[in-house]
Structures are given as C-alpha cells and as structure tokens.
Amino acid sequence: MAADLAVADLAELRRPVRGRVTVAAGLQALAAALAVTPAVVLVEIARRLLNGSGQPVWPLAWVAVGLLVARFALYASASLLSHLADADLAYLLRRRLTDQLSALPLSWFAGGVSAQVRTTAQDDVATLHHAVAHARGDLAAAVAGPAVVVGYLLWVDWSLALVTVALVGAAQAIRMRLKVRATDEVGRVAAAGAELTAAVLETVRGISVVKAFAGGRGAPRFTAAAAEYVDADERAQRIFVRPRAVARATVAPATVVCAVTAAGTGLVAAGWSDPVNLVAFALLGVGLFEQLTPIYLAQDLRVRSRTAARRIGDLLREPRQATVEPARARAVGEPLTVEFDDVHFGYQDAHRVLRGVTATLAPGTVTALVGPSGAGKSTLAMLLARFADVGEGAIRLGGADLRDIDRDDLYRHVGFLLQDVVLLRRSIRDNIALADPAATEDAVRAAARAAAVDDRILALPRGYDSVAGEDAHLSGGEAQRVAIARTLLAGTPIVVLDEATAFADPDSEAAIQDALAALAAGRTLLVIAHRLYTITEADQILVLDDGRLVERGRHDELLAADGRYAQLWHAQQGGRP
C-alpha cells in the first residue's frame, strides 16, 4: 500500500511536466542511437577498404559527421527541455508547499517539524530533479543505445554477438546478485548516515554544552554515530569488493577483446566469418556493459524519487485550517469587541488545554492573562490570532466568528507580538515595513522612534539598510523594539502581546516598557503576563488554571479576594529583593 501510494504521488507530482519529459526522453533515446552510428560507419569504411571493392568512403565519412552533429543537437535539445521542465516543476512544487504551510494551523508546527519541512521543501524537491531531468531520459538512452549495438552486431556476425552478449550477461548476473545481497547493508549505511547527520547538527547547535561538559571527549552521540557509520560502510564494502571486481574483470576491455578475438580467429580460420567483422566487435562490444549502467542508476533514482514524492505528498495532504469562501465571509463590525464564548480547545494528542473559557475584551482596554505554566494562556491568545481553531464554542470579533472572517481581513485587525522575536534576513527597514511594504521612509522612522529604537538603527553600519543577521546584530531587547515598531506600523487595532520583557535586562526592559506604552495607546491589548508587576494597571486580569477561567477582575480586587491570583502574586513578591 505504501509503495502504491508513493508511485501515485510521484505520478501526480510529475503530471504538469510529463509531456515535456516524455518528449525529452525520446530525443535522448534517438541521440543514444545516433551515438553508435559513427562507429558503425567506421566499420563499414574499414570493410570497403579491406575488401578492395573500390567503393568511395568519403560519403560514409560525411554521413558519420552528419549523424554526430545530429546526435549533439538531439542531446542538447533533450537536456534543455528536461531541465526547463525540472525547473518549472521545482517552482510549482515549492509554491504548492508554501501555500500548504501557510494554510496549516500553527499547532502543526509545535511538534518540532522544522527539520522535516526543510528536508521536504529543499532536499526532496531536489531529489525529484534527477527523476524529472535525468532518470527517464537516461533509461531511454540505456535501452536504445545497447539495442542498436546488439542489433548491428547480430547482423554482422550472430555467433560473435552471442559471445559478447554472454560476457555482458555474466557480468550483469553478478551485478544483480550483488544488488540483492547488498540491500540490507546499504540500508544500514543509509541509517547510519542519517544518524551521523543528526549527531553533527546536534553537536554544532549545542557546541557550548559539549565544550562545557564533555571537555575533550567530544559529543558522545557524534562519536558513537561516526563509529557506527564506519562499521556499516566497512561491512558493505566487504560484500561489494570481490563480486564487483569479478564483474568488472568479466567485461573489462582486455577481456572482451581477447574473448572476441579468440572466438573470431577460430571462426575466420574455419571460413565462417570475415576478418573485418572483428573490427565491429572491438569497437562496439567493449563498451556495451557500461551502456547498461544507467539502467541501475535510473532504478535507484526512481526508488529515491518515490520516497521523496511520498514525503512531499504526505505534507500536501496534511489537513489545512478551514478557509472562508468569499461568498460566505463576514465583515468585522463595530465596535471591535472580542468575545470568547465557552471556548474549548485540545491538541491532536487529545490533551484538553482550554475548558469553557468565556470573557469579553472591550475596545481600547488592556486584558492580562495570568496563571501557572501550562494553564492555557498562550493557547488562548493563539486562538485569537487564529493560529488554530477552537474545538468547541466560538471567538467573535466585532460580532463575527473568526472562522467566518477572511484571513487577510482578520490580520488587518489583529496583530501579535511574541517574546521570541523573529527578524527576517532582510533590511531593518523591510522588517519594520513587513505588514506594509509600501510604507514611506518617514512612516518607518516614526514607528522606530515610537519604539525607542531609531537611534540604535542609525548607529548600524548601513542604518535602516543594514540586514538582520549580517551587519545588523541586535540584542534581544533591541530586536524586541524593532518588532514593536513593526507592530506599530501595521496599525492593527487589536494586539496579542506575549510578555515582551521576559528576557530583557533592566535597561532594555525600561525602553521596551516605554515602547509598549506607545503601542497600547488607543488599542485593545491581550497580554500574556509572566511578571505580574507589569500588569497591575490592566483594565481586567483573567486568571487561568488548568485550562479554566478561575478568576477575573482588576489587580486590587483580585488581591482582596485572596484567591489564585493572590497566591501567584505573593509567590513572585516573596522571591524579589
């Protein structure tokens, strides 16, 4: 079943370029057939010269030159056509994958799938390059070329042709047996290679931990993976070496020439063959085995391509977040009130995160979400940004259910600022203007000034043209202020704010708080608060515990109630200097 699905995936993915690839394979097969003809013409020229028939040989020579030129033209056309088809397919696939990833709920990305996405979008699409641009054409050439050679040799002298084919057949039998015996070992080498790659990545990413705790011993996982890879490779090579050597020796040029010459000499001596026939076998029989090699390479490419196509297909089949048809989309009404109505939510592992949360965020107010770790704060905020859909209940914005609002319309009203800041590898100007690429220089500068980061940007080597990660190396607090400027410029009336000062030092925290004050002006804020002293002036505080809303009110009211919020407050205050 899995193999059938992989075949179906590969066929479906290649469908947009199937016609061009088939034509390219046909052209390459003709080119392979024409590649043999100059040698055939050379044999016929030798035949005319040795027989003393007096027939002209220059016409044949010009035919060989013409066929050689035609072969180059066909091969170049096939290569160009197949590579253009491959480039178009890679573009289409990456567009499809990009659209698919943008439509998946954010909860899908929470399982550490970055390596999987990278492998699928980059490596697996690249693997299909060989299947599209090379495999079918190489297979067609590997069939057409030897077929022409064998057909010609049979026409010249069937008995010598059988000797040549027998040698090639013996080598092929050894190769097939070797392929079967080596299957398990090749699988072990591949598995060991994958583990070694993972160990290298782990070592590089955690190099500080390795140096601090492993000392001169290096990373244990990397050491073990390297040893296992060497062992697996040695076991495979022990299987490969002897049969491979026998196969190569069987079809080595010297072996083929000696065998054919010996058999041919006997046949010529008996008067059953023409001496000039030996020229044909010396020229064409020697390379017959190597012409078949692309068949095996094409088979290996096909297996790898099916595996890659299966992974791409699996990603494209991941359930998308429900979209709204334009005819059914509802407009966001006024006032921009946010309503959580009996919201329930759970992840795919059936773990219930939210249980019946009901709350209202009035326009222009600040609402803080507090609670112990795992209470569901981030999940509730994530649902407002519609990174996932509620399991039961509803979230409404301006009276419209989020599931009925067009995605672009929703994000014109709701923005979010997370504590884990992401700056794209683009200029600082482009990072700030991400939501509004047409923003003027004055607008970008005004947002940066409001976020208290304009002076720091101007101090960079190229100012606003400096590229994040290249010549713009910002601290966590500075990057957070750039993100605040981006949110300011986006101008969304509702902002979901994860604790922006969670990892800031005191100086940065003061600057960030000033920037957040500018951001809060006139906006509705939903703040995930870890440091409770930062939200004492919030209009309302929602206290979550084990997915339930257990308290709500202002700071003073909740302290007076002496409930869960008061416990959290006193726990934090007791730990402060």
407 and 467: one domain? yes
Confidence of residue 97 (pLDDT cuts 50, 70, 90): confident
pLDDT digits (tens, 9 = 90+) for 103-161: 777 667 765 566 677 777 777 787 777 777 777 777 777 777 778 777 877 787 777 77
**Whole-angstrom distance, CA of residue 548 vs CA of residue 176:** 65
Do residues 423 and 477 both lie within one domain? yes
Specify the DSSP class assigned to residue 272: S
Give the range among 108-117, 195-204, 515-524 with minimum mean pLDDT. 108-117
Q: Residue 320 above 70 pLDDT?
A: yes
DSSP state of 252: -
Arithmetic mean of pLDDT, 168-186: 64
Residue 509 pLDDT more than 80?
A: no
Residue 261, classified by CB atoms within 10 Å of its CB into exposed (0-12), middle (13-18) or buried (19+), is middle
DSSP 8-state class, residue 417: E
Question: Order of strands across the sheet with 400-401?
Answer: 352-361, 338-346, 392-397, 400-401
Could you report the per-residue pLDDT of 524-558, keeping only the tens digit for each?
888 888 888 878 888 899 999 888 889 899 999 88
> What is the pLDDT averaged over residues 84-105?
83
Find which of 211-215, 417-421, 503-507 is predicted with most confidence, using mean pLDDT: 417-421
How many domains, the chain?
Answer: 2
Same domain for 443 and 300, yes or no, is no
2 and 80 belong to one structural domain: yes
Question: What percentage of residues in the chain have a pLDDT greater than 90?
Answer: 1
Is residue 17 within 8 A of residue 82, CB to CB? The reply is no
Average pLDDT value for residue range 300-329: 75
Strands 366-370 and 540-545 turn out to be: parallel
Cβ atoms of 14 and 133 within 8 Å: the answer is no
Residues 499 and 392 in one domain: yes
Tokens standing for 244? Answer: 């491979």
- Radius of gyration of the chain from Cα atoms? 35
Rounded Cα distance, 478 and 136, in Å:
53
Assign residue 315 the CATH number of its domain: 1.20.1560.10
Domain that holds residue 423: 338-574
Claim to verify: residue 315 and residue 372 sit in the same structural domain: no
Residue 46 or 562, more confident: 562
Within-domain flag for 298: yes
275 located within any domain: no
| pLDDT at 577 (0 to 100) | 36
Instruction: Tell me if 161 is assigned to some domain.
Output: no
Alpha helices in 317-440 (DSSP H): 377-384, 407-413, 428-432
Q: Say whether both 315 and 359 belong to one domain.
A: no
Task: Please indicate, yes or no, whether residues 301 and 403 belong to a single structural domain of this protein.
Answer: no
pLDDT band at 283 (very low <50, low <70, confident <90, very high): low
Looking at every residue in the chain, the average pLDDT score rounds to 77
In a domain, 266, yes or no: no
Mean pLDDT of 499-524: 65
Which of 8-17, 290-299, 456-465, 507-516 has the largest mean confidence? 456-465
Helix 253-269 × helix 158-181 angle, to 10°: 150
Residues 298 and 367 in one domain: no
Contact 305, 131 (CB under 8 A): yes
What confidence category does residue 374 fall into, taking pLDDT thresholds of 50, 70 and 90? confident
- Region of poorest pLDDT, from 30-39, 94-103, 359-368, 526-535: 30-39
Instruction: Report yes or no on 227 lying in a domain.
Output: no
CATH number, domain of 377, equals 3.40.50.300
3-state secondary structure 133-192: HHHHHHHHHHHHHHHHHHHHHHHHCHHHHHHHHHHHHHHHHHHHHHHHHCHHHHHHHHHH
Give the span between the Cα atoms of 28 and 92, in whole angstroms. 25
Per-residue model confidence (pLDDT) at position 239: 66
Residue 486 has pLDDT above 70, yes or no: yes
Query: Do both 316 and 342 map to the same domain?
Result: no
Regarding whether 393 and 307 lie in a shared domain, the answer is no
Residue 575 confidence (pLDDT): 45
**How does DSSP classify residue 208?**
H
Q: Which two tokens stand for residue 481?
A: 């202020």
pTM here is: 0.62
Q: Which residues lie closer than 8 Å to 411 by C-beta, 6 or more apart?
A: 492
In the numeric block, which tokens belong to residue 412?
Answer: 């014109």
Q: How confident is the model at residue 285 (pLDDT cuts 50, 70, 90)?
A: low
**Do 422 and 301 share a domain, yes or no?**
no
Any domain includes 151: yes
